[in-house]
Copies of this chain bind each other. A is one copy, B any other.
Amino acid sequence: MKIKAGIVGATGYAGAELVRILLGHPDAEIAAISSVSFEGQKLSDVYPAYYGLCDLVCGTQEEVVEQSDVIFAAVPHGLSQELAVQCVQAGKAFIDLGADFRLKDEAAYQKWYNGSFQYPELHEQAVYGLPELFREEIRGKKVIANPGCYTTAAPLALAPALKEGLISSEGMIADCKSGATGAGRKPAQNTHFPDLNEGFSAYKVAAHRHTPEMEQTLSRVCGKQVHMTFVPHLLPINRGILATCYARLNSGVTEADIRDAYSRMYGKEYFIRLLPQGKVADVKNVRCSNFCDISLHVDTETGTLIAISAIDNMGKGAAGQAVQNMNLSFGVEEQAGLKMVPPAF
């Protein structure tokens, strides 16, 4: 008996990638999809790549909740809380690809998202779905906040060194670069082809709302409140996030110490590929997959750790990780449906 999966907001990029992954999942099937913008239309009319493969018609949110065991919400920030309540009341699992349940601190949520916690008990119940750091919390849970893309890439790059006290908890910097799908499917000037193509710049410099989410994760990892500098950039490519993270090495720490720490923490993680010395993480190598490649570099001259992680912002940064969380929630194999090989070119 397969897990019946439903997607609210299936015509956004994250929703569409969920469809692609779930179509190949051995233990799940797509029960229903919805879309406000395209209600009544076939998904394959919106994404002709799926023609003949997923010709499901977009229905309503209510239909999705009713027909599914697990509901993935790929909707704009702020719309998930109401939906979460419906799911919980109906006894369904709920995995939110938006930000509504990510921050545990309501003040931070208010500051960065301009909203409030409407159902505090739901926020209590919600777990943060970054399995490589918090796996045991996620198993069997029914309200899961799927992390953002930047907030998956950067914390994974720094966590082992921070946890083992090899780097200072002050002065961490995440210089991140994202592909254009991260900005969503809706056309906008900065993602208009002639404007983005052959261009490259930062945006929301030190003012992106993923900052508090990163800090929350890393604070949990090291057991005290940390702050960091986060600068996102927009790349003229479709998929991928590269997080080039800088941290000050504590005195006496060697590259070998660093590599040992990462091996201890990630050595058995299927989805984290620690690259051997001399290799550098590249977004190209993780496209259309759930992998996070990490390469480690030490600048001995200045005593700086440079940890670089690469993920597919739509894979490990959104839909892939959401499916990984579904697997943990339902107790099926964690890698189920996620073993796709990234295309080499």
Contacts and interface: CB of A to CB of B under 8 A. Distances in A.
Interface of A: 13, 16-17, 20, 23-24, 47-54, 170-171, 173, 175, 177, 179-181, 185-189, 191-203, 205-206, 227-229, 231, 233, 235-240, 242, 244, 246, 248, 273, 275, 279-288, 293, 295, 297-299, 301-302, 304, 306, 308, 310, 314, 339-345
Given A198-B198, A279-B48, A344 B20 contact: yes
B302 A345 contact: no
11 contacts: A24-B339, A24-B340, A49-B343, A50-B341, A180-B197, A194-B238, A199-B284, A206-B297, A206-B302, A229-B246, A229-B306
A190 B96 CA distance: 29
Contacts of A201: 242, 280-284, 308, 310
Contacts of A197: 180, 193, 197, 236-238
Ranked 7 nearest A-B pairs via Cβ? A199-B284, A201-B282, A206-B299, A187-B187, A47-B344, A205-B297, A49-B285
Contacts of A199: 237, 282-284
Nearest to A43: B344
A273 B341 contact: no
Given A49-B344, A284-B200, A302-B229, A235 B238 contact: no
Given A193-B191, A238-B194, A308-B202, A181 B345 contact: yes
B301 A206 contact: yes
A187 B244 CA distance: 27
Contacts of A200: 177, 235, 237, 240, 242, 282-284
B306 A341 contact: no
A173 B304 contact: yes
A85 to B, nearest CB: 30
Nearest to A342: B49
A200 B244 CA distance: 11
A284 B226 CA distance: 35
A132 to B, nearest CB: 15
Contacts of A233: 177, 242, 244
Nearest to A301: B227
Contacts of A282: 48, 199-201
Nearest to A281: B201
A16 B188 CA distance: 19
B238 A49 contact: no
